[in-house]
Structure 1
Amino acid sequence: MKNQLVVIGNFGSGQGNCGQTIKTNVVYSLLKKERADDTIAFDTSNLKSISKIFYLLFVVFRYDKFVILPAQKALPILACLFYIFNKKADYIVIGGWLPEYLMISRRFIKKAISSNFRIFVETRDMTSKLIKIGIKSYVLPNFKTFVKFKLESVLEEKEKNSTKVNYVYVGRVIKEKGLIDSINALYNVASNFKDKQFNFDIYGPLDNCFESEFKNAIKKFKSENLIVTYKGFVSPSEIQETLVSYNFFLFPTYYEGEGFPGCLIDAMASGVPIIASDWKYNKEIVKSNENGYLYKSKSVSDLTNVLSHSFLLSPKDYKDLVSKCLIDAVTYHEDNVKLTMEKYNFFVS
């Protein structure tokens, strides 16, 4: 059927999960659910294959309805093909890299994007940046399907581990995510509050190039009242049950491509207030003294101060943070974002 919807993106076949592949699969699952059997997928992973390039060329030529979610490597190829065949697509941007990418002299790609793609980005600030270079876009925030936890049950789970102050991170374990800054800052806090026990658990795929430096940092900043543990991969289906018992989610990123990470939705949906760097678009999601705290990016001293403040909160103030997290998370639930997608006719055959 020529009028089938084709979703083109990195589905991560055989490569494991990351923010790119998780969101691609989430978007595809929603589209397929709403359009029944009218939706098919094209996986851009391993796009170096000549046979796969030719198949992609055939797909773009053959069909008329597209949703695309390319990263930087696949975007030029898709921009070229859609421009040549004069086809239209809804482009759901994953991450925050597109405005900076297009600010560099890439006139053909900008022209192709402007004329052939309807662009959906994750934050309002991204739309503002794109407008400045003459590209119109719309906001479609990151989203997930999750269980809507009750405040009382979340607080009960946290009480089970009340002898420690428990911090957590979930995501790619790479240098630019700022994890060494977090470990350093927690070491400073633990040194100043020796009567408290601190725990920092880190989940996610560990980059081989960062492994040695990461493990050395854990050894270097080890102390009697601070335990830092790398806990490997946690599946999306287990993320809420894993996170709910933690006191705070640490997100010290200074990654250049950061947009609206799905891990922040996971944290809020699990009732875990977020301590994040004031980097890129974090301030649109994390509101200081509401659902978490922001600190000056790359500043270990500022992070130390925020961490010191975080565990000294009164029970009422902490409860308010948890409550706001659960409320804010609902904004990014699939059910709500689906309404925005309906407005833009994503589900119309």
Structure 2
Amino acid sequence: MEKQKILVFGNFNYSTHNLCGQTVKTRNVYQLLKSKERQYFSEVAFFDTDSLSANKLGLFQGLYHVIKTNELFYLPATKNLTYIFPFVFILSKLFSTKIHFVVVGGWLGEYLQNKPIYRFMISKVHHIYPETDALCQYLESHYGFKKVTRLNNFRDTNFVPVQRAIGHPIKLVFMARVHPLKGVETLFKLNQRLKELNFENVIIDIYGPIFEEYKEEFNKLLITASDNIAYTGILQPNDIYPVLSQYDMMLFPTQYYTEGFPGSILDAYISGLPVIASNWLYANEFIDNTSGAVVDFDDKNAFLNKVIELIKKPDIIDSLKQGARAKSYEFSSDKAWEVLLSNMVS
């Protein structure tokens, strides 16, 4: 049988290399499919929607790629879905392109609530791949979508962390967008509480791109905080696992309730780090008592108390580190490939 042409359509952000969950997952899907090119496909190409910020006419090039491909892996954020997807959908029907709709995050169910036209279009794509069981069930039960399969967030890596005994100082890390909705201010409250309790042997490092409109406020928080909390920049992909593996726990006090499966949690597991998180909509699908802890979504004190409780029990942190590493094997690229291959046109 003739091999198929594949196109991955989404935000790669190759122009600025400003990595986030959207861009990392888009790149990972492309790299996974590209690695199978010789064996399964005649070509695996990509279109970077980030290029449209500099050249709106580039959309015509992207749409031309859509009509020339057999199977399209489409990874939109909300703006892309709102303004570009209708054109992509119409062309896919005119030129018999199969759309694989790969969902990034947990927002799709809410987005579709008052959009019957978009619900109709998405119901007609070849397959839909949410990140969570709960979103799969929601799309099926509320909107009657039929071809829905969970596709875990994944990484293609052979990294094996060196087991690091808990020492002094105990090192806590946050790695995500530096944004109020990611719970950044909770980190500063934790730092203050630790200072009040005379925990001098605990440091908190913050990694990630700073939301532009939050920079001034964030810098004020840093200036007034103690030396035990610091902003440490943006980790490049090749540095993530070696750097994270030098820490003891990852903090994820998100206030963004419809998070999907944040890539930073998967990066923590691969690096052997347990995760302490607020209970966003899907938290319990990814964090259990073997790999970290989940606390009430709106209870910042509960988050602080749980972190402090674990700091006092380093033997439990050691056990959670082993559980986190074991958890990472559920999110391999091999398992992701099995899901995609089983739903592609044969």
In the TM superposition, what is the alpha-carbon distance from 1:219 to its structure 2 partner? 3.1
Indicate yes or no: 2:205 matched with 1:198.
Answer: no
Q: Aligned to 2:19, which of 6, 17, 20?
A: 17
Distance of aligned partners of 1:269 and 1:81 in 2 relative to their CA distance in 1, 3 Å threshold = closer
Indicate yes or no: 2:332 matched with 1:327.
Answer: no
Runs of 4+ in 1 over 6 A off after TM superposition: none
Q: Which amino acid aligns with 1:292?
A: G
SS of residue matched to 1:39 = strand
TM-score normalized by the length of structure 2: 0.90
What is the alpha-carbon distance in structure 2 between the residues aligned to residue 340 and residue 71 of structure 1?
Answer: 22
- Percent identity over the alignment? 28
- Which residue in 2 is equivalent to 1:79? 86
Q: Which moved more, 1:137-146 or 1:35-44?
A: 35-44
SS of residue matched to 1:147 = coil
- Which residue in 2 is equivalent to 1:303? 303
- Which residue in 1 is equivalent to 2:273? 272
In the TM superposition, what is the alpha-carbon distance from 1:196 to its structure 2 partner? 3.8
SS of residue matched to 1:246 = coil
In the TM superposition, what is the alpha-carbon distance from 1:33 to its structure 2 partner? 0.6
Q: Which runs of 5+ in 2 are unaligned?
A: none
Total equivalences in the alignment: 334
CA contact (8 A) 1:154 1:270 kept: no
CA contact (8 A) 1:2 1:62 kept: no
Indicate yes or no: 2:261 matched with 1:260.
Answer: yes
What is the alpha-carbon distance in structure 2 between the residues aligned to residue 295 and residue 212 of structure 1?
Answer: 29
CA displacement, residues 284-309 of structure 1 (integer Å, 9 cap, x when unaligned):
1111x310011112422111210111
Distance of aligned partners of 1:265 and 1:12 in 2 relative to their CA distance in 1, 3 Å threshold = same
SS of residue matched to 2:19 = coil
What is the alpha-carbon distance in structure 2 between the residues aligned to residue 275 and residue 298 of structure 1?
Answer: 14
SS of residue matched to 1:95 = coil
In the TM superposition, what is the alpha-carbon distance from 1:206 to its structure 2 partner? 1.0
- Which residue in 1 is equivalent to 2:43? 38
- Which residue in 1 is equivalent to 2:74? 68
What is the alpha-carbon distance in structure 2 between the residues aligned to residue 265 and residue 24 of structure 1?
Answer: 15
CA contact (8 A) 1:182 1:300 kept: no
Indicate yes or no: 2:125 matched with 1:119.
Answer: no
User: What is the 5 A alignment of 1:104-183?
Assistant: 105-131=114-140, 132-136=142-146, 137-149=148-160, 153-155=162-164, 158-159=165-166, 162-183=167-188
Alignment RMSD (CA, Å):
2.0
CA displacement, residues 13-54 of structure 1 (integer Å, 9 cap, x when unaligned):
213211111111111011011123621111111436442222
Indicate yes or no: 2:108 matched with 1:98.
Answer: yes
CA contact (8 A) 1:8 1:69 kept: yes
- Which residue in 2 is equivalent to 1:5? 6
CA displacement, residues 323-347 of structure 1 (integer Å, 9 cap, x when unaligned):
111111011121232222232238x
- Which residue in 2 is equivalent to 1:27? 29
CA contact (8 A) 1:90 1:120 kept: yes
CA contact (8 A) 1:145 1:334 kept: yes
TM-score normalized by the length of structure 1: 0.89
CA displacement, residues 88-109 of structure 1 (integer Å, 9 cap, x when unaligned):
2111111111111011x21111
SS of residue matched to 2:144 = coil
CA contact (8 A) 1:11 1:25 kept: yes
Indicate yes or no: 2:249 matched with 1:248.
Answer: yes
In the TM superposition, what is the alpha-carbon distance from 1:273 to its structure 2 partner? 0.8
Q: Which amino acid aligns with 2:328?
A: A
What is the alpha-carbon distance in structure 1 between the residues aligned to residue 240 and residue 192 of structure 2?
Answer: 26
Indicate yes or no: 2:63 matched with 1:57.
Answer: yes
- Which one has more relative contact order, counting CA pairs under 8 Å at least 6 apart? 1
Q: Aligned to 1:217, which of 197, 212, 221?
A: 221
Q: Which amino acid aligns with 1:305?
A: N
CA contact (8 A) 2:102 2:128 kept: yes
